[in-house]
Amino acid sequence: MQSAVSSPAPEWLVAPDDVNDLVPAVWPASIERGADGEMIIGGVSADELVRAYGTPVQVIDEGEVRRRASTLRRAFESAAAGQGTTARIYYAGKALLNTSIVRWVTSEGLNVDVCTGGELEVALAAGADAAQLGFHGNNKSVLELERAVEAGVGTIVIDSLIEIERLAAIIARTDGDQRVMLRVNSGVHAETHDFLATAHDDQKFGFALGDAAAAVARIREIPGLVFVGLHCHIGSQIFGVAGFRESASRVLDLHQELLSGGDVPQLNLGGGFGIAYTRADDPTPIAELAEGIVSAVAEGCAARGIHIPALSFEPGRAIVGNAGVTLYEVGTIKDVTLEAGSRRYVSVDGGMSDNARPALYGAQYSARLASREGSPDPVLVRVVGKHCESGDIVVDHEYLPGDTAPGDLLAVPATGAYCAPLSSNYNHVPRPPIVAVRDGASRVIVRGESMTDLLARDAGIEL
Ligand SMILES: *Cc1c(COP(=O)(O)O)cnc(C)c1O
């Protein structure tokens, strides 16, 4: 046995030629190193950001969000135009929601998708046109639905029979119309390179394909509800188009059946487009994805002899994920000897409270020194947080410079999606601020929590 020379690194992780390199697919396009090796994001150096805002800090590159939003919109619009239809992009707000993000994406021509009353209030507070909003969710309350109808939300995506009746009662008290879609399960579940296609679905979202026609018939009976089409979302962090093609084909059978009872002008195929978290990830380029999905719908419609509907999509991660970088300060460092080599534990001043994805899903991330370039010798590390959980992992497997030391700044890329929204105060650690960078300037878009914030809800403390 050669256990002494083998390594606890996973197979996908290759020691880089340059342990200070910044792989373009993972970082915002603006990323660079300055004259002294310091990392610069959106024209602002990591040191400057940390001097101004402390650590940890969630940095969002505004230019990157805008560029990705407009790239997605143009790619789908042009693919749709090539097939004689239109496409709209709804930004899935749950990936990262605050009024600044809403303003950026709407000014790039996107609609916004929300799934709770709270998310709806943020979008409205940002001044978004309610008619451009979509509202999802499997358990929208009567109050949430009333608020959505009253605000004039463009499309409500119905998820259950009970919701149809709730909406019917609300709309009966108004004299307006409410456009609705019906969420269905295509039985296709996709994640990264694989998809699973089943006949029966064992999950909480939407209607089974076999139950949907009766639900649509009920919607069509209700004065004031306007059925506009089907909605289907097959998963997240999906690479390739095969899962989308299979799902579209199943949903089009139902779409065709519904045409016998009236118009079905739209089809929403959800989001889930994958991004690169590490150098091992190779997501399908957006233009290819758009062409692949839209052409599958067009071919499916041609084969059935039906008109291609107006299409919509709901990416979240693909717009904000790679625009986010979290900066931490390195605290303690510890080498742990294992049977197969050794692993260096690098502790930072955040963790599962600002990024729950590694603990929740075993998500992989990457990291680089941000305050400087380190020595060229790569050392296998696990970056961990400061919480009282051994699952409190920030970056499971990475190579960092051998001279990484306490006080260094560490940058974790691709933290723009599903980090801040899933953040917590576990162990009474305050949530970090969210800071936007663009063209050499930075500003707080969501302030960080203070100790006063942390104590404010404890009824036993007088502040
Ligand atoms: C989460 C979600 C999305 C966005 O998923 P991404 O992986 O961020 O693109 C879109 N639509 C629905 C219904 C969702 O639940």
Tens place of pLDDT per residue across the chain (463 aa): 333 345 789 999 999 999 999 999 999 999 999 999 999 999 999 999 999 999 999 999 999 999 999 999 999 999 999 999 999 999 999 999 999 999 999 999 999 999 999 999 999 999 999 999 999 999 999 999 999 999 999 999 999 999 999 999 999 999 899 999 999 999 999 888 788 888 778 889 999 999 999 999 999 999 999 999 999 999 999 999 999 999 999 999 999 999 999 999 999 999 999 999 999 999 999 999 999 999 999 999 999 999 999 999 999 999 999 999 999 999 999 999 998 888 999 999 999 999 999 999 999 999 999 999 999 999 999 999 999 999 999 999 999 999 999 999 999 999 999 999 999 999 999 999 999 999 999 999 999 999 999 999 999 998 7
Q: Which of 138, 106, 109 is nearest to 125 (CA)?
A: 106
The full 3-state SS of the chain, as one line of letters, equals CCCCCCCCCCCCCCCCCCCCCCCCCCCCCCCEECCCCCEEECCEEHHHHHHHHCCCEEEEEHHHHHHHHHHHHHHHHHHHHCCCCCEEEEEEHHHCCCHHHHHHHHHCCCEEEECCHHHHHHHHHCCCCHHHEEECCCCCCHHHHHHHHHHCCCEEEECCHHHHHHHHHHHHCCCCCEEEEEEEECCEEEEECEEEECCCCCCCCCEEHHHHHHHHHHHHHCCCEEEEEEECCCEEEECCCHHHHHHHHHHHHHHHHHHHHCCCCEEECCCCECCCCCCCCCCCCHHHHHHHHHHHHHHHHHHHCCCCCEEEECCCHHHHHHHEEEEEEEEEEEEEEECCEEEEEEEECCCCCCCCHHHHHCCCCCCEECCCCCCCCEEEEEEECCCCCCCCEEEEEEEEECCCCCCCEEEEECCCCCCHHHCCCHHHCCCCCEEEEECCEEEEEECCCCHHHHHCCCCCCCC
The active-site residue, picked from 115, 232, 301, 388, is 388
Alpha carbons 111 and 314: distance in angstroms, whole number: 9
Distant-in-sequence, close-in-space partners of 94: CB < 8 Å, separation ≥ 6: 113, 114, 115, 119, 316, 418, 421
**Which ligand 1 atom sits closest to the C-alpha of 418?**
8
Alpha carbons 392 and 30: distance in angstroms, whole number: 30
Alpha carbons 397 and 376: distance in angstroms, whole number: 18
**What's the half-sphere exposure (Cβ side, CA atoms, 13 Å) at 266?**
22
What confidence score (pLDDT) does residue 4 get? 39
What distance in angstroms lies between residue 56's CA and the mean position of ligand 1's atoms?
Answer: 27
What confidence score (pLDDT) does residue 227 get? 98
What confidence score (pLDDT) does residue 92 get? 98
What distance in angstroms lies between residue 8's CA and the mean position of ligand 1's atoms?
Answer: 34
Active site annotation includes 388: yes
Superfamily in which the 32-61+322-456 domain is placed by CATH: Lyase, Ornithine Decarboxylase; Chain A, domain 1 (2.40.37.10)
**72, 110, 233: which to mutate for ligand 1, most atoms within 8 A of CB?**
233
Domain locations along the chain: 32-61+322-456, 63-320
pTM for the model = 0.96
Alpha carbons 155 and 158: distance in angstroms, whole number: 9
| Residues in the annotated binding site for substrate | 317, 357, 361, 389, 418
What distance in angstroms lies between residue 218's CA and the mean position of ligand 1's atoms?
Answer: 27
What confidence score (pLDDT) does residue 423 get? 98
Burial of residue 221, with CB atoms counted within 10 A of its CB: 0-12 exposed, 13-18 middle, 19 or more buried = exposed
**Which ligand 1 atom sits closest to the C-alpha of 314?**
10
Q: Check if CATH label 3.20.20.10 holds for domain 63-320.
A: yes
Distant-in-sequence, close-in-space partners of 457: CB < 8 Å, separation ≥ 6: none
Do 63-320 and 32-61+322-456 have the same topology in CATH? no
Distant-in-sequence, close-in-space partners of 121: CB < 8 Å, separation ≥ 6: none
Q: Using a 6 Å CB cutoff, which residues line ligand 1? A: 92, 94-95, 136, 233, 236, 270-273, 314-318, 417
